[in-house]
Structure 1
Amino acid sequence: MDSELAAASQWATESNAAVFIRLKTESGVVQAMDSEEGDEEENEEGEGADVIEFHPEFTYPIYGEHERIFGYKGLSINLNYAAGSLATYFNIKYTKRIEQMESTSTVALKADDIDTPMRQILADSVCATQSEFAQQVVHDTRVFRPSGRKVHEYAGRSSQTEQLRYEIYSSSFNDTESAKYHERMQAFVLFFIEGAQFIDTSDERWHVYTVFERLDMNGQTSYSLVGFSTVYNFYCWPDRKRARISQFLVLPPFQGQGHGSALYSYIHAMVLGNSDYADLSVEDPSEAFDDMRDRNDMRYLLKHNAFAHIKGARVEQSAISELQHTHKLSRRQMTRCIEMALLKMIKSVKSQEFGEFRLFVKRRIYAQNMDLLQALDPDERKHKVAESFASVVDGYRRVLSLL
C-alpha cells in the first residue's frame, strides 16, 4: 500500500504553482505568435517585458482546501489576459495524464477535472482559441479605454520615448460596460484575497474604483489594470451613509509602488469631500492593508494638525468622537491613530507619560476583548492584556518609523 501511495503522489501538483496568470499587451502577444511559426498551441516560454507573469496566492476556492491537483505531470493552467481589457484565454497543458494505476487494486484513481472548476469563476466571454485571443489583445491594446468616470490621476515614470500615468475610475453596476468588466476582473479576488467571495452585482449600493496604468508611447495610448477596490454604501441614521471598503487589491506586479496608498487616499478624500458620507470603514482588513491604511491616515492627520489639542493620554471620549466625525474615520481607526500620535509624543518608556499611555491602551484592549478576557483567571487575563499591549506598541512603532 505504501508503494501505491508513493506512486500516486507522483501525480499530485500544487495548484498555486500550476496556475500561471499572464497580462499581455499587443507586442507581447505578437512576439508569442511569431515564435510559434503558425502552431495553434501557445508558447508559454520566453515571456518578455510585454508579458507580465505571476501565480495566485490562493486556489482553494477553485481546486479545494488542500490546493492540490491529482492526475497530471508537467501541469500548467494558463490564464492569459489582455492587460487592459482583461479579454481572457484559458488553456491547460501537461506532459502526461494518468489513465489508471495498474498497481492499485483497492482504490480507483482518476485525474481531477481542471477545466470545469476554473471556468465557473471566469466570465462567459472567454476566447475559444489562442488566435482569437491574440487578435483581441492587438485590438484592445490600441482601442480599449476604461469604463466609468475618471476621478483622479497621478504621475508615473517618464522618458523621451514613453510616459506613464495612473488613472482612477469610479463605476457602478448600473453601467453595462462596467458590469461586464467587473465580471472579468472578479476572479482576482479569489486568487489574492483570503476568504473572499464574489459580491452581489444586483445590489446598487456597490461602487467600484479601478486603477489603470496609462502608457503614452509613439503617439499611441494603452491601458493596463493595476488594481481595484469595491466599496459598499451602508445607511447611516438619519439621512447619511457609511462607505465600507470590502475588497481591495493591487495586482502583484504593481505592489510596493504606492498604488494601494494612492487608491485608499482617493477613497478617503472622496468620503471627506461628500457631505452624504458619515465615515469610511474597512471590512476584515488584512495585516498588510492595516499597515498601509495606518500610514496614510497618520500622514493625513499629521498634515492637518489633527492632534494639536491632545497633550496627554487622558483623552476624553468626546474628543475621540469629535476627531472621528471631522476626519470621517471609523471609531476603531481614529482611536488607533490617536494612540499612535500619543506614542509619537513620548520620549521615554520610563516616563509618567508612557505609564498613562499604557493604561489608556490596555483599557481599550480590555474593552474590545471583554468577553474573552473575563473567561480567564486574573493572572492569565493580565498576561494576555500585557502581551497584546506589547504587540500593539511594536506595530505602532513600525508604522511611525515609515512616516
Structure 2
Amino acid sequence: MDEILAANASQWVADSNSAVFLRLISGETTESVLNALRADIAEDEEGADGADAIEFHPIFTYPIYGEQERIFGYKGLRISLYYAAGSLATYFSVDYTKRIDGLETSLPVQLKSDDVDTPMRKVLSENSLVGSREEFAERVVKDTKEFKPHGKKVHEYEFREYHRRLQTFLLFYIEGAQFIDETDERWQVFTVYERLDLNGITSYSLVGYCTMYEFFHWPDSKRPRISQFLVLPPFQGQGHGSELYRYIYGMVKASPQYVDLTVEDPSESFDDMRDRNDMRYLLDHHAFDGLTAPVSPEDLHKLQIEYKISKRQMARCVEMGLLKMLDKPNAEAYGRYRLFVKRRIYAQNVDLLSGLEDDEKKQKVAESFASVVNDYHRVLSLI
C-alpha cells in the first residue's frame, strides 16, 4: 500500500485554483435553482428550466490555501462557492470522491488531508452564508425577484454587509489584495450589474466593482485614488471595465472638489485599459493640438490640471499624443521627440543608471526608448 501511495502521490494533490468553483445563480423557482446547483452548467450557459448560472475559477487562492496553492488528501475535490447573482448570498460546499484519511498504511505517521473548510470560511462574510442548498435556492428565488443594486439611498450598514461579500472576490483575482477598512468613510464603492430577463422577471447579476479612496489635498480639495478594480472573468473583454472607468473619470473631471484621478499599483491589464480610454478622451478633446517636443513642464502641468489626469499618466499620454502626430520622415522632429522621451526615461531611472558607465547608460536608455515607443504604437493601434 505504501508503494502504491508513493507512486500515486500526485493523485492526492489538487491545484486549489482549479478545485475552487465560483458560480453566480439567478432563478425563478427553487427547483430550477437546485437543478443548477446539481448540474455542471458551462460558463454563460442558461439552464433550460428558468435558471441562469455562470461558472468560473479563481486566478489566486494563495491567501486561503497557501503560497503553493495545493491541497493534499483528496481525489475529485470540488470546493463550490454558489452566489445569488445579485445579493451575493452564499452557499459553500466541499465535495470529493475519495479522501486519504483512514487509509491503511504501515508508515509511522498517519496520512491526513488538508482542512479546506476552515480557511475558506475565514474569508467569507459570516452573515452571508446560507446553511443548506434548499435554503439557498429559496434565497436565490427571492433575490431574483426583489434584489435591486445598492445606490446612494441604501442604509450604510446594509451596504457594509454587502461589501463583505463583494471583497472575497478580490482575493481570487487581485494579487496581494487586502480588505479595506469599512469604518473609513472616505472609501467609495462602485458596482456594475447585468440586468437579466428571466421570463418576465427583471433580475440583476454582479459584473464587477471598484473601490476608490479620497485623500485630502491642501488646502480644500480631494485627490481620489482607484484602489481595487475588478470585472469578473465571464464578463471580461466586453468593455465593462472601460465603461466603469470612464464613468469614474467623468465624475472626477466634473467635480470641482477633485484635483485629479490617481491609481494605486495598477496591473498591466488595467494600465492598458486606462491608456486607451485616457487617450481617446484627450484626442477627442484635441488636448494635444499645437504641441511639439519638447513639451515644457509648465505646459504639461496645465494639461494635468485641465484634464485632472495624474502627472505621470499625463506625461505618458502626451508622449503618445506626440508620437501619433509626429512626422516620422522628418529627422529633426523625430530627433527632438526621441531626446524628449529619453530625458524622461533617464530622470525616472537615475538611481538604477547611476552605477553604470556612460556607454552602458546610453545603451540602456536607448533600449528603454525602443520598448516604450513599441508599446505606444501598440496602444495607439487599439484606439
Residue 40 of structure 2: aligned partner: 45
Moved more, 387-396 or 253-262: 387-396
Cα drift, residue 395 of structure 1: 1.4
Give SS of 2:55's match. strand
Residue 31 of structure 1: aligned partner: 32
Contact 1:57 1:192 in 2 (8 A): yes
Q: Distance in 1 between matches of 2:334 and 2:8?
A: 62
Change (3 A) 1:108 1:365: farther
TM alignment of 1:49-128, pairs within 5 A? 49=46, 50-100=52-102, 102-103=104-105, 105=107, 108-125=110-127, 126-128=129-131
Contact 2:25 2:33 in 1 (8 A): no
Q: Distance in 2 between matches of 1:388 and 1:256?
A: 29
Q: Report the number of matched residues.
A: 374
Residue 318 of structure 1: aligned partner: 298
Cα drift, residue 350 of structure 1: 6.7
Give SS of 1:278's match. coil
Give SS of 2:356's match. coil
Residue 222 of structure 1: aligned partner: 203
2:14 is aligned with 1:13: yes
Cα drift, residue 107 of structure 1: 5.2
Q: Once superposed, which parts of structure 1, at least 4 consecutive aligned residues long, lie more than 4 Å away?
A: 1-5, 100-104, 216-219
Residue 306 of structure 1: aligned partner: 287
Cα drift, residue 330 of structure 1: 0.4
Q: Distance in 2 between matches of 1:374 and 1:101?
A: 62
TM alignment of 1:4-403, pairs within 5 A? 5-27=6-28, 30-34=31-35, 42-46=37-41, 48-49=45-46, 50-100=52-102, 102-103=104-105, 105=107, 108-125=110-127, 126-149=129-152, 175-216=156-197, 218-310=199-291, 312-348=292-328, 351-403=331-383
Q: Distance in 1 between matches of 2:143 and 2:168?
A: 20
Contact 2:216 2:223 in 1 (8 A): yes
Q: Distance in 1 between matches of 2:120 and 2:149?
A: 26
Cα drift, residue 359 of structure 1: 1.3
Change (3 A) 1:34 1:192: closer
Residue 166 of structure 1: aligned partner: none
Cα drift, residue 188 of structure 1: 0.6
Give SS of 1:33's match. helix
Cα drift, residue 211 of structure 1: 0.8
Cα drift, residue 28 of structure 1: 8.5
Contact 1:210 1:227 in 2 (8 A): yes
Give SS of 2:8's match. helix
What is the one-letter code of the residue matched to 1:296? N
Specify every segment of 5 or more residues in structure 1 that has no aligned partner in the other structure, as ranges.
Answer: 36-41, 151-170
Contact 1:4 1:104 in 2 (8 A): no
Q: Distance in 1 between matches of 2:59 and 2:175?
A: 9
Change (3 A) 1:4 1:93: closer
Give SS of 2:67's match. coil
Change (3 A) 1:400 1:30: farther
Q: Distance in 2 between matches of 1:137 and 1:260?
A: 26
Change (3 A) 1:118 1:10: same
Alignment TM-score, normalising by the size of structure 2: 0.92
Give SS of 1:291's match. helix
Contact 1:127 1:133 in 2 (8 A): yes
Q: Distance in 1 between matches of 2:316 and 2:21?
A: 39
Q: Distance in 2 between matches of 1:339 and 1:392?
A: 10
Relative to its length, the structure with more helix (as a share) is 2
Specify every segment of 5 or more residues in structure 2 that has no aligned partner in the other structure, as ranges.
Answer: 47-51
Change (3 A) 1:34 1:7: closer
> Identity of paired residues, percent?
59
Give SS of 1:329's match. coil
Relative to its length, the structure with more strand (as a share) is 1
Q: Distance in 2 between matches of 1:180 and 1:140?
A: 16
Residue 159 of structure 1: aligned partner: none
Give SS of 1:398's match. helix
Compare relative contact order (CA 8 Å, sep 6+) and give the higher one, 1 or 2.
2
Q: Distance in 1 between matches of 2:198 and 2:20?
A: 32
Q: Distance in 2 between matches of 1:382 and 1:349?
A: 23
Give SS of 1:77's match. strand
